[in-house]
Amino acid sequence: MQDNLPEISPVARAYAEALLDVAQNTGQLDDVAADIAALKALRAAASDITKFLKAASISTEEKLHILRETLEPLLNPLTMRTIESMARRDRLELLHDLVDAFDAQMEERKNRIRVELSVPQPVSSEDHARLEQAMSGKLGKQVVLRTIQKPELIGGGQLRIDDLLIDGSIRYRLEQMRRHMREKILSTPGEQNMITV
């Protein structure tokens, strides 16, 4: 997964589910999963691909032509047909979401769930294993935990499970306190001009 698990488009989820179902039903799941891994690696290695997919100055036909030239010899025909289908509906910008949605659905079918924990300090391998085990017990699925160091959180942490974000960071709590104080001060008559929060 990416540094932050993004909101995945429902349209990309539908494409991913259809691709996964057809691949599984036709015995091509391993090949298609390898294609998805290759597309993920391409995204990581070539950051310009996102700009290319979203570029309004390049026509969809031109994008598809370039993708066919570069990817068709490497990808399973089922994967390539999915990309072509997305292009016909002018949805190539959702290709990254398709990759993430496919991975998430594969994990779901294996009764695994990816969880991302952002913390200000590094997590030891012992703590990482302990956290994975504890979360697996709570969620009833095998947790695949990814930790990200974010010093700006100050303390505590942020936990992302699918589209759910649980923010227990000190930074978030300070922001809540500031917002609460501002609301209280602004709601008190005569106090508005005295204090700036």
Q: List own/partner pairs for 24-31 with CB under 8 A and 24 or more apart.
A: 26/78, 28/76, 28/78, 31/76, 31/78, 31/79
pTM: 0.63
Mean pLDDT of the chain: 88
Distances (CA, A) of 169 to 39, 55, 117, 133, 146: 33, 36, 11, 22, 17
CB 29 within 8 A of CB 22: no
- Confidence band, pLDDT 50/70/90 cuts, at residue 4: very low
Task: Report the pLDDT value the prediction gives residue 66, as an integer from 0 to 100.
Answer: 93
CB 5 within 8 A of CB 46: no
Domain ranges of the chain: 10-107, 111-187
Q: Does the domain made of 10-107 have the CATH classification 1.10.520?
A: yes
Per-residue model confidence as pLDDT tens digits over 37-52: 999 998 888 878 888 9
Distances (CA, A) of 164 to 4, 38, 158: 12, 27, 10
Per-residue model confidence as pLDDT tens digits over 73-123: 999 999 999 999 999 999 999 999 999 999 989 988 889 888 999 999 999
Q: Could you give the CA distance from residue 32 to residue 52 in angstroms, rounded to a whole number? A: 23
